[in-house]
Copies of this chain bind each other. A is one copy, B any other.
């Protein structure tokens, strides 16, 4: 399992490239949550998401020879954009396999960071085949969005900054999709303070991580049914192992709770967080953390406004 010092190393490695994002507080939000919340603002990270930390750590960890061949991934969202910018920053090629059903704005964002966009059919099989083809042609190194130690270690640096900046946190909450953010967060938090409570937050409509924890084995996700489109993925062996050992519980929240949390944060903090980040807020609202100091990882701000305001 990934060790804490990998997160510390990642922090040193990526520091020149990532934003040290602010931690904000809001009295009215605290009142609504009935706790004292410290929001780690990864929506203000480059590319608008924590994903840039893991992608940067992975790209900067490559040997010069590997790096020269470039990197590849399939993604329709933040990981693709993050990997594209991380590669561009190191001056190496990135090949991102994108389902042809992805919105034009997402494809354009990936291309704007200088990556080669390779379109494929919108099935997992076609995406995997697409990456295999790219690798066969170019020798590029695949960077998985979360089932990858360097990516997890990079993701954990957000929580490391939070825990080091805000003393005496009792709980830290992160949303869970594939589990990269939550496992990195858990390793970082417990690396600093073994008794900190680490909690995952997941849409009830995509509760495969909660069910995996209960079943003590990975349960595959069902069909997409949540506004929190960053949390559709199932766990991987690597993230499941960390979560099973370190995470106290995974709180599930309804779609109505997610939308309510999203709008409260928008109104009260004027910060344009994405639905996946609102999942963590909604989980804190649902749980009883009165009297506690709660750190919340706001995963990103890549929101389709037209969708979110339905």
**Interface residues, chain A, with chain B CB atoms under 8 Å away:** 43-44, 48, 263, 266, 270-273, 301, 305-306, 309
Contact = CB atoms under 8 A, between A and B. Distances in A.
Contact of A305 (B43, B44, B301, B305): B305
Contacts of A305: 263, 266, 305, 309
* Integer count of this chain's copies in the complex: 2
A104 B217 CA distance: 49
A151 to B, nearest CB: 23
Given A270-B273, A271-B272, A305-B305, 5 more contacts: A44-B270, A48-B270, A263-B305, A266-B272, A270-B271
Contacts of A44: 270
Q: Which 6 residue pairs of A and B lie closest in terms of their CB atoms, listed nearest first?
A: A270-B301, A270-B272, A43-B270, A305-B309, A272-B272, A309-B309
A306 B305 CA distance: 9
Nearest to A273: B270
17 contacts: A43-B270, A44-B270, A48-B270, A263-B305, A266-B272, A266-B305, A270-B271, A270-B272, A270-B273, A270-B301, A271-B271, A271-B272, A272-B272, A305-B305, A305-B309, A306-B309, A309-B309
A273 B270 CA distance: 7
A189 B299 CA distance: 39
Contacts of A263: 305
A181 B295 CA distance: 37
A305 B308 CA distance: 10
Contacts of A270: 43-44, 48, 271-273, 301
Nearest to A272: B270
Nearest to A27: B46
A272 B305 CA distance: 11
A303 B138 CA distance: 48
A273 B269 CA distance: 11
A309 B304 CA distance: 10
A61 B44 CA distance: 38
Contacts of A48: 270
Contacts of A309: 305-306, 309
